[in-house]
Amino acid sequence: MAIIKYQQKSSDVNNILKSYSKDITSQNGEDGILEKIFEVIGEQNYSKWCVEFGAWDGKHLSNTYNLIVNKGWSSVLIEADPKKFKQLMSNLGDRENLYCFEAWVGFESNDNLESILSKTPIPKEFGLASIDVDGCDYYIWESIQNYKPLVVIIEYNPTVPNDIIFVQDKDMSLSQGASLLALIELGKQKGYELVAVTNTNGIFVLAEKYIEFGIKDNDIDKMRCDYGKRIWQGYDGTIFTNNFSYLAWRKVHIDPEDLQVLSKAQRAKRGRSTKALDSRENLPKPPGENIALNKPAQQSSYSKWSQPNESSRAVNGVKNGSYSFSTNIEVNPWWQVDLEDIYVITQVRVYNRVDNSSAERARTLKILFSTEGNDWQEVYSNDDQLVPGGVGGIYGKPLIVSTESKIARYVRIQLNKKTYLHLDEVEVYGSLESTTLL
């Protein structure tokens, strides 16, 4: 067994405000840290207004409840979920100088934070902004230009190592977040310095106030322990990890073998080149243009690993040996593509995932055609007799089915048992029926 040992180099030795941690409603000591920060700054030096989104019910894991209820602060609370907002109004709605909005906070001019704050009497310079939307937090903070909170507390993704700048795509439908280092860099651009770190939040103050906290060095490796989540590869293609065994928010344990791109047999081959493992260059030449490329696709169900719009990833032209989509476990799961017109189809190529033993699930694969999406004609059934390990992929011969010029608009891939369906890519070749008739 390989020897893996992480040598800790980072520490939180200068995260001195952590010693004031206290939770009234916050999650990781933020209430006590914020109290101390505003004590150091001095009450006469800030406006007692705070803003929080998503505010949940105004109390659950809130970074502002203590300030509102126990310190007499005015507040703007924003929550998009109707049920949570109703509870928010029930908990705090009768308080004076409290402005509640049932709304999404984005980063465009029509939905950003400033468009909401402009509807309230909150001053342009105010005490605290608490940003926690589990996704586009970075872009929301970036979009704040005309208002200047003295203190910003913002959620970071704690699974990202200290030396990585990571910011998810600018897409409100994603929930991936940003690394602490990325937020530190953004903060410096906006005139803020890091003064405290909790398990999930970075706390920043305006740069001109930073000196008041007596922090000798707020470098990330002096403010936060990096517990060594790492991933690397051996010469043979084996993927190794350290402290990387659990998907925290999904509560799923990771089997290291599930991360392997190459099978054990492929990794056992001598030499460092993967060229010999990739059979794409030996495949028969495609019989024309891939007519399924970037066409609409759908699937029978979605799994806990599914991503938004993942069905279309199986026809995006990218083959990497992993899965583009995954149904839930069910009887006869299926995926299909709409070619958007009736074609005379001559060939279908199916690339299976080849990153682990789950490829075996494709052994009962069927291919069905339909002209209108209701009545289906089976054009191929493997009867559990495919290549060992299931349908091949980019590192093994994919399934290539010639269909004898059958017509279809819809092409469906289906399994003939109760299981998951997950594939890498599907290609369809043919020509428009009208063109063929000419």
Pair 43, 70 in one domain: yes
Most confident listed range (26-40, 282-296, 379-393): 26-40
pLDDT at residue 389 greater than cutoff 50: no
Residue range 267-300, pLDDT digits in tens: 776 544 444 444 454 678 889 999 999 999 999 9
pLDDT at residue 266 greater than cutoff 90: no
For residue 86, give its domain range.
16-223
Please give the pLDDT value at position 435.
52
Within a domain: residue 217? yes
Q: Which residue do the tokens 């952590």 mark?
A: 18
pLDDT at residue 209 greater than cutoff 80: yes
Pair 256, 121 in one domain: no
Encoding tokens for residue 388? 């060992």
Pairing state of beta strands 125-131 and 74-78?
unpaired
Higher pLDDT residue, 339 or 355?
339
Question: Which residues, listed in sequence order, are joined to residue 194 by a DSSP beta bridge?
Answer: 204
- Range in 20-29, 102-111, 124-133, 267-276 with the lowest mean pLDDT: 267-276
CB 36 within 8 A of CB 70: no
pLDDT at residue 339 greater than cutoff 90: yes
Please give the pLDDT value at position 275.
43
Pair 405, 326 in one domain: yes
Please give the pLDDT value at position 406.
92
Residue range 164-183, pLDDT digits in tens: 999 999 888 889 999 999 99
Residue range 55-92, pLDDT digits in tens: 999 999 999 999 999 999 999 999 999 999 999 999 99
pLDDT at residue 235 greater than cutoff 80: yes
Pair 160, 180 in one domain: yes
Pair 99, 127 in one domain: yes
Pair 34, 99 in one domain: yes
Supply φ then ψ for residue 312, to 5 degrees: -70, -15
The average pLDDT across 10-18 equals: 96
Long-range contacts of 64-69 (CB under 8 A, 24+ apart): 64/128, 64/130, 65/24, 65/25, 65/92, 66/24, 66/25, 66/26, 66/31, 66/34, 66/35, 67/34, 67/127, 67/128, 68/92, 68/95, 68/98, 69/95
Identify the domain boundary among 189, 207, 223: 223
Within a domain: residue 109? yes
Pair 205, 241 in one domain: no
Element (H, E) at 32: helix 30-41
Pair 251, 341 in one domain: no
CA 43, CA 49: separation in Å to the nearest integer?
12
Higher pLDDT residue, 334 or 107?
334
Within a domain: residue 3? no
Within a domain: residue 10? no
Q: How many domains does the chain have?
A: 3
Residue 352's Cβ-count burial label (10 Å; 0-12, 13-18, 19+) is buried
Within a domain: residue 2? no
Percent of the chain with pLDDT over 70: 92
The average pLDDT across 116-137 equals: 96
pLDDT at residue 390 greater than cutoff 60: no
Residue range 348-362, pLDDT digits in tens: 999 998 777 677 788
- Whole-prediction pTM: 0.64
Pair 200, 59 in one domain: yes
When pLDDT is cut at 50, 70 and 90, the band that residue 185 belongs to is very high
pLDDT at residue 101 greater than cutoff 60: yes
Higher pLDDT residue, 350 or 321?
350
Please give the pLDDT value at position 434.
64
Pair 269, 306 in one domain: no
Pair 217, 306 in one domain: no
Identify the domain boundary among 276, 292, 308: 276
Within a domain: residue 197? yes
Within a domain: residue 121? yes
CA 114, CA 107: separation in Å to the nearest integer?
9
- Domain containing 323 — which CATH number? 2.60.120.260
The average pLDDT across 401-409 equals: 91
Please give the pLDDT value at position 249.
87
Q: Helices (DSSP H) in 42-170: which residue ranges?
A: 65-71, 82-92, 113-117, 137-143
Pair 154, 137 in one domain: yes
Higher pLDDT residue, 110 or 394?
110
Within a domain: residue 83? yes
**DSSP code per residue over 146-191:** S-EEEEEEEE--TTS-TT---B--S-TT----B-HHHHHHHHHHHT
